[in-house]
Structure 1
Amino acid sequence: MKVQIKYRNGRLDVFDTDSYTPSQPFGDGCMLANYEVRFDQLEKGLWLQAHFYETDPRFKEDLEDDVVPVGRRAMGWRFLLAEEGELRDVEQVLVDGDRMLVRMGDGLVDVMRLDCASALLLSDGGGPSLASQLQGVVDALRASNDAMDDEAVANLAGASWEALAWARELQPLQQIEVESEEEGWMDYEGD
C-alpha cells in the first residue's frame, strides 16, 4: 500500500508498505498483513496501523483432519503519518492513487465515506441509487414469491433486514406514473 500526503506548501510525504527494510518485518510466521489508515481518528493525527496473521504450526495441533487451522491476528505497529497540527496544511491524502481525504475550505472531507453515502442515496447519472436498487430488487423478488417475508427476501438480495429498513426510511421508493397515450396512437391516419 502506498499512502501519499500532499500539503499546501508543496511538501509531499510518501509511505510505502512494500518498502520495509527487512523482507519479513513480522517474522517467518507472517502469512498476511492488514493495514489500516485511520481516517476516523483525525483528531489524534493520521495513523497507519499494521497487523499480521501468524501461521504458527502449533495452531494445527489436535485438529481433526478436515478442519482448517486458523491464522491468528496479532497486533502489529502504529505509525504516525501526520501529526494533528500538520493536518491543518494537508491538501489531500491518496491511498494507492485513490483520493481518500481532501481539503475543502478549512476542513477535510473523507472522500471514501462521501462516495459511499452518495452511492447509497444519489443516482450516479446512470441509474438509481443503491438504496433504490435494493428496494427494487426486494420488491421484484417479493412479487415473485409471496410466501417470503421482507427479511428473507432482503437476505436473498444480499442485504440484512436492517439495511432494507434503512434504505426505505431514508429514500422511499417512488412509483413513477407513466402518462398513457390515447389508444390507437400508432394507427396510421392516411391522407
Structure 2
Amino acid sequence: MNRVTSTEYDGPIGPVLLTFVDDALVRLDVAHGGIERARADISQRLGVVPDPDPGPGADLVAQLDEYFDGRRREFDVDLDWRFVRGFTRAALEATREIPYGEVAAYGEVAMMAGVARAARAVGTACAASPFSIVVPVHRVVRADGSIGEYGGHPEVKQYLLSLESAAVASESLSEPV
C-alpha cells in the first residue's frame, strides 16, 4: 500500500500544501481557499487522508525556499502523474522546456507538445496542473503577451514571472563583461 503524506509550506504566494504518494509529488496546491480545503480536496481525489509528515516534503520545501530566494532555476522532485493523462500531460511536460525567466505563448507550447492547433487545450492543461510552480505553467502566456488568469489569481503569476525576471537580470548584471 502506498503511503500518502502532506507537508505545509508557507511561501510568499500564500499557504501551499504539498502532497506525496510515497516519495513522489502528486499535488502542489497553492491553497488560496485555505490548507484544510486543499487537504479535503486531495483526500477526496485520493480516497485517503494524507498523514501530516514533513519528511517526504522536506527536500521540496528547501527547493521552494531556494526558488523564492532566486537561487533555484528548476526543481528536482519525482512527480506522480496519476491525475494527468494524454495531451494534458504532453502540454505540462512541454512547459518544463520553457527556460527560467522566459515565457512562451499557449500556441507555442501546443507546438512543443506536438499538436500545433491546441492552444486552448494548453490553457486547460495549465489550469489543471497538479504541479504549479514545480511544472512552470506560470511561464505560459497569451499570444498578445498578457498573462491571463492563473486560476483566478493573476497576481500570483505576475509575482512568479517578476521573481524570475529579476533573478535573471541580477545574474546578468553580476557576470563579468
Bigger CA radius of gyration: 1
Settle same-fold status: TM greater than 0.5.
no
Higher relative contact order (CA 8 A, sep 6+): 2
Higher helix share: 2
TM-score band by shorter chain is: under 0.3
Q: What TM-score does the superposition give when structure 1 sets the normalisation length?
A: 0.21
